[in-house]
């Protein structure tokens, strides 16, 4: 029997990227199948309210894998509050028996370097080339005096998911 027509089966993957004002997320069913993405802004009690929103996302979507940034070795890129939130999300995933995968920002950049991109803006642009449905959400290029656009959280989450599909599947 010829198996050349087998359908690839991908896990439903959810990536969360905490930001200074909330979090970005992306849900994929395969490397070319984004199902949902967005940002959530949290103004007060950020970790508690972010964790509540994230648990609602997890309960609603029932992802088969959760992908987070591994900032355990990061040199100053993430503030302590964000590191605590990432730990809380990981603990929740483990309590729900959801497989958890973590990638450092260096690992994500390393994977994307195979596609001739060197920074977050270039990664976002390359993602939009591959997934044009995300193009309306790409933020303008950041100038040195500008803070990061909150929409970049979407592309950071998508980069985590694409790294997962590239490395794990």
Per-residue pLDDT at 144: 80
Per-residue pLDDT at 159: 96
**C-alpha distance from residue 118 to each of 68, 75, 95, 98, 105 (Å):** 21, 19, 36, 32, 12
Structure tokens at 67: 């992908």
Per-residue pLDDT at 47: 87
Per-residue pLDDT at 83: 86
Task: Determine the length of the chain.
Answer: 169
Instruction: From first to last of the 169 residues of the chain, give the pLDDT tens digit.
Output: 344 444 455 789 999 999 888 899 999 999 999 999 999 998 878 889 999 999 999 999 999 999 999 987 755 566 778 888 999 999 999 999 999 999 998 899 999 999 999 889 999 999 999 999 999 988 888 778 777 778 899 999 999 999 999 998 6
Q: Where are the domains of the chain?
A: 13-168
Structure tokens at 1: 């029997």
**C-alpha distance from residue 23 to each of 7, 31, 40, 62, 73 (Å):** 33, 21, 5, 18, 21
Q: What is the pLDDT of residues 3-33, one digit of tens each?
A: 444 445 578 999 999 988 889 999 999 999 9
User: What is the architecture, at CATH level 2, of domain 13-168?
Assistant: 2-Layer Sandwich (3.30)
């Amino acid at each position: 029997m010829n198996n050349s027509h087998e359908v690839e089966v991908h896990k439903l993957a959810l990536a969360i990227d905490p930001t200074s004002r909330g979090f970005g997320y992306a849900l994929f069913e395969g490397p070319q199948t984004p199902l949902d993405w967005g940002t959530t802004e949290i103004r007060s009690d950020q970790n508690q309210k972010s964790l509540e929103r994230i648990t609602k996302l997890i309960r609603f979507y029932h992802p088969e894998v959760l992908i987070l940034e591994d900032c355990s070795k990061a040199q100053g890129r993430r503030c302590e509050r964000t590191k605590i939130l990432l730990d809380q999300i990981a603990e929740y995933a483990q309590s729900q028996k959801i497989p958890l995968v973590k990638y450092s920002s260096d690992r994500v950049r390393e994977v994307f370097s195979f596609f001739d991109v060197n920074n977050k803006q270039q990664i976002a642009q390359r993602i939009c080339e591959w997934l044009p449905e995300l193009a309306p959400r790409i933020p303008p290029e950041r100038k040195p005096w500008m803070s990061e656009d909150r929409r970049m959280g979407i592309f950071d989450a998508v980069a985590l998911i694409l790294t997962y599909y590239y490395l794990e599947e």
